Each structure stands twice: as structure tokens, then as C-alpha cells.
């Protein structure tokens, strides 16, 4: 299938008891955009989901966890559910794989209880994240900055709280995956009125309350390039319009790396 994610590969890491909708919906959206999604698990052959209050459908395991590396993929998806992340954080290969994605600067998308695996991998210190509320203390103790928001993107980690946040989570994951490993192409000339909170598609905006890096030199929008300072303390960024690049070496660690296309 041809799409904006054609050629991208995503590893969806799950164990028995993953929240079914948190795998099925992101996988369907990624495949619709042309990506390949492999279900990766320590379980053999089939892994069983959890559907609200009861066991869900079995899902075929595409790749054995102990045989893959982050170099094989462009992004890591970690669905939630209480049981699956709790099991994965005790599996050395799951922890190893998560660290590899973080070390290589590849997007990691974790929802609900999924960030508990990121705690075990030691990749959340200094990162702003969200999660199911019961993980707030654990994430804070691991050095993360926890916020109560439908989706947060910081240093390549995309996080959300619960199934109700899936639309925002999926949009953020697709945006991150679409730009990873590629230069941001300059789009057509924008409407000069484009500013934070005024997306040309009318898409909802995402509030980022930590400073982030705006790569003004590479930004294709003249209306932004000439008026927006390189570092903004607070802004609203359209989830659809924003594209990110690798964080410049000179940028402070807490700052996010983005180029803007349409805000």
C-alpha cells in the first residue's frame, strides 16, 4: 500500500493482557498510511488481548521478541492494559529493545500503562510524559515530568493516558513516524494568518508548556520564519501541522525539536 508512511516499519510490543483497542486502532491507522506493523511479543505464536472487562481476541505474533532489534524498525508502539506492560518490564529483551529505540532516537509511543515499561528501561528521566493516572507517582520517581493531558510529545516519546485519547495519540504517532529519518519538505506557500491555535485545517491544538526548539532556519513558512523566536516558552501547536527534526546539538536538553509547517 502506498501512503505517507510507505516503507516505515513499526514494532508493536505486547504480552498477554494488552488493551485490545490500544493495539488494534493504532495498527489499523498506521497500515492505512502505508506502514508495516509487526506484533512483537515474548509469547509464542499468539498473544491474547484484554477487552474492557474480559479477555479479548487472540492476535498472531509476527516476530519473536528475542530475535529483533531497534535497527529493524522506525518506531516502537507500546499499548497499555495492566497485565501486558507489567509482564514486559520483567522480560530482559523487552527492556533491551526499548532502550535501543531510545538510544537511537527513534519514536516510542506508549499509552495508558505502557509507560511503565519505559520506567524499567530508564528512558524517562527529564522527559515530560503522561499516562494512566495511577502511574503518576512511579513516573515522577523515575525522573519524568508527569502532566495530565491527552497526548504529550517530548524527545521522541509520545504518550497518552487512556483509550479515549487514541485519536490524539494516533495523530501524534503518525506525525512522528512520518518525519523520522527524513528531511522535512517545504510545502506550498501558507496563509500569512497561520499562528498557534489557527490551523488551516481547523485541527485541535496541542499545548506544550515546556520550552521547545523552533528551527527557524529550516522552517519553510516565511510568515513564521520572520516573526517567531527560536525558543518559545509556551505555545499551542497543531497536532496535524507540526513536524519535528532531530534536536540540534546546541539546544538545551529539555527543549523539543520541531520545524513548523502551517502554524
Q: Which residues are catalytic?
A: 112-113
CB 19 within 8 A of CB 81: yes
Distance CA 92, CA 75 (A): 19
Please count the CA atoms within 13 angstroms of the CA of 26 that sit on its side-chain side.
Answer: 37
**With the C-alpha atoms ordered 63, 66, 67, 73, is the resulting torsion angle positive or negative?**
positive
Distance CA 247, CA 257 (A): 5
Reduce the secondary structure of 37-82 to three states and give it as a string: EEEEECCCCEEEEEECCEEEEEEECCEEHHHCCHHHCCEEEECCCC
Cβ count within 10 A of residue 205: 18
Give the C-alpha distances (Å, rounded to integers) separating 187 from 20, 111, 217, 247.
37, 31, 15, 21
Cell of 9: 516499519
Q: At what angle do helices 166-179 and 20-32 cross, to 10 degrees?
A: 40
Question: Residue 9, SS3?
Answer: strand
Distance CA 13, CA 119 (A): 15
Amino acid at each position: 500500500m502506498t501512503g505517507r508512511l510507505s516503507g516505515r516499519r513499526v514494532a508493536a510490543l505486547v504480552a498477554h493482557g494488552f488493551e485490545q483497542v490500544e493495539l488494534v486502532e493504532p495498527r489499523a491507522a498506521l497500515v492505512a498510511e502505508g506502514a508495516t506493523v509487526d506484533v512483537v511479543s515474548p509469547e509464542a505464536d499468539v498473544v491474547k488481548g484484554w477487552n474492557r472487562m474480559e479477555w479479548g481476541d487472540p492476535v498472531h505474533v509476527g516476530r519473536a521478541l528475542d530475535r529483533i532489534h531497534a535497527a529493524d524498525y522506525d518506531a516502537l508502539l507500546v499499548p497499555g492494559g495492566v497485565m501486558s506492560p507489567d509482564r514486559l518490564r520483567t522480560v530482559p529483551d523487552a527492556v533491551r529493545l526499548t532502550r535501543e529505540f531510545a538510544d537511537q532516537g527513534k519514536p516510542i509511543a506508549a499509552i495508558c500503562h505502557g509507560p511503565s515499561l519505559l520506567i524499567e528501561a530508564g528512558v524517562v528521566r527529564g522527559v515530560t510524559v503522561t499516562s494512566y493516572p495511577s502511574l503518576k507517582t512511579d513516573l515522577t520517581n523515575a525522573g519524568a515530568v508527569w502532566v495530565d493531558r491527552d497526548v504529550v510529545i517530548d524527545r521522541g516519546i509520545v504518550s497518552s493516558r487512556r483509550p479515549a485519547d487514541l485519536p490524539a495519540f494516533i495523530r501524534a504517532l503518525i506525525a512522528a513516524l512520518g518525519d523520522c529519518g527524513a528531511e522535512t519538505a517545504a510545502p506550498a506557500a501558507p496563509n500569512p494568518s497561520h499562528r498557534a491555535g489557527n490551523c488551516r485545517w481547523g485541527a485541535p491544538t496541542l499545548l506544550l508548556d515546556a520550552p521547545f526548539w523552533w528551527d527557524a532556519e529550516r522552517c519553510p513558512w516565511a510568515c513564521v520564519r520572520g516573526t517567531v523566536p527560536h525558543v518559545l516558552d509556551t505555545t499551542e501547536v497543531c497536532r496535524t501541522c507540526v513536524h519535528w527534526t532531530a534536536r540540534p546539538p546546541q539546544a538545551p536538553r529539555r527543549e523539543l525539536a520541531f520545524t513548523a509547517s502551517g502554524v
